Chain A
């Protein structure tokens, strides 16, 4: 049973480009969370999605960031017009339902140059 798969593991983008991060949840999991971790800081909640629905996006910046979890395929976190402050590790987690254990992927480390 494969775990949570994220790709790419490392992503380098120039300022102004778009970054697209992908997350495939564990088999059978329909709840996906995205978190951002800045260097030497804790995990900050960004968004919680179920299939085709955004449940809670209270942690998402108002501009440039969007997330989706389509009926088919992985969840996508999209960052438009990246800036250097977007450089961070982005982790995806999935769970069976809202109150059960969430398991993390290996993360995508985004570097904006």
Chain B
């Protein structure tokens, strides 16, 4: 049983476009949701957190949460080649007290 699911990609977008990354999760009681960016050979870097339904914007990033649909997404506006990385969705599962990661979506921004 998959707990956090992401499309592995790669997702290719042209420079300047909007990249849309999606994630679904299985634990309906989850309360905390995070997006991390991981460059090859590096550690995950937190870029967004969201706790309530709706949108949360931070610079070029917008996280969207829909708890009824158990769905969380990340939009990256004005995508840059430096945004090319693997994006990891993480959910703090109510049961088991653990932060569970999806397998990640590879994003490639072409200049």
Residues on A facing B (Cβ under 8 Å): 33, 35, 41-45, 48, 55-56, 58-59, 91, 93, 98-107
* CB-defined A-B contacts under 8 Å, sample of 11: A43-B101, A44-B101, A55-B97, A56-B97, A93-B44, A93-B99, A98-B92, A99-B31, A100-B49, A104-B36, A105-B43
Given A42-B104, A99-B31, also A56-B96 (CB < 8 A): yes
Residues of A within 8 A of B96 (CB): 56, 58
Task: Determine the distance from Cα of A113 to Cα of B86 in the docked complex, in whole angstroms.
Answer: 29
A-B pairs, 3 with minimum CB distance = A42-B103, A43-B101, A104-B43
B:70-111 near A, CB below 8 Å? 88, 90, 92, 96-104
Given A93-B44, A106-B42, 15 more pairs with CB closer than 8 A: A42-B88, A42-B102, A43-B44, A44-B101, A45-B100, A56-B97, A59-B98, A93-B99, A98-B92, A98-B97, A99-B31, A100-B49, A101-B46, A101-B49, A103-B46
Look across to chain A and name the residue whose beta carbon is closest to the beta carbon of B51.
A99
- Contact of B32 (CB < 8 Å), options: A33, A44, A100: A100
Look across to chain B and name the residue whose beta carbon is closest to the beta carbon of A91.
B43
Q: Is the CB of B98 within 8 A of A102?
A: no
Task: Determine the distance from Cα of A88 to Cα of B97 in the docked complex, in whole angstroms.
Answer: 24
Q: Is the CB of B88 within 8 A of A43?
A: yes
Residues of B within 8 A of A101 (CB): 34, 46, 49
Task: Determine the distance from Cα of A8 to Cα of B75 in the docked complex, in whole angstroms.
Answer: 36
| Majority secondary structure, B binding face | strand
Task: Determine the distance from Cα of A33 to Cα of B42 in the docked complex, in whole angstroms.
Answer: 17
State the Cβ distance, B41 to closest chain A Cβ, in Å: 9
Look across to chain A and name the residue whose beta carbon is closest to the beta carbon of B8.
A42
Look across to chain B and name the residue whose beta carbon is closest to the beta carbon of A44.
B101
Q: Is the CB of B101 within 8 A of A45?
A: yes
Task: Determine the distance from Cα of A34 to Cα of B101 in the docked complex, in whole angstroms.
Answer: 12
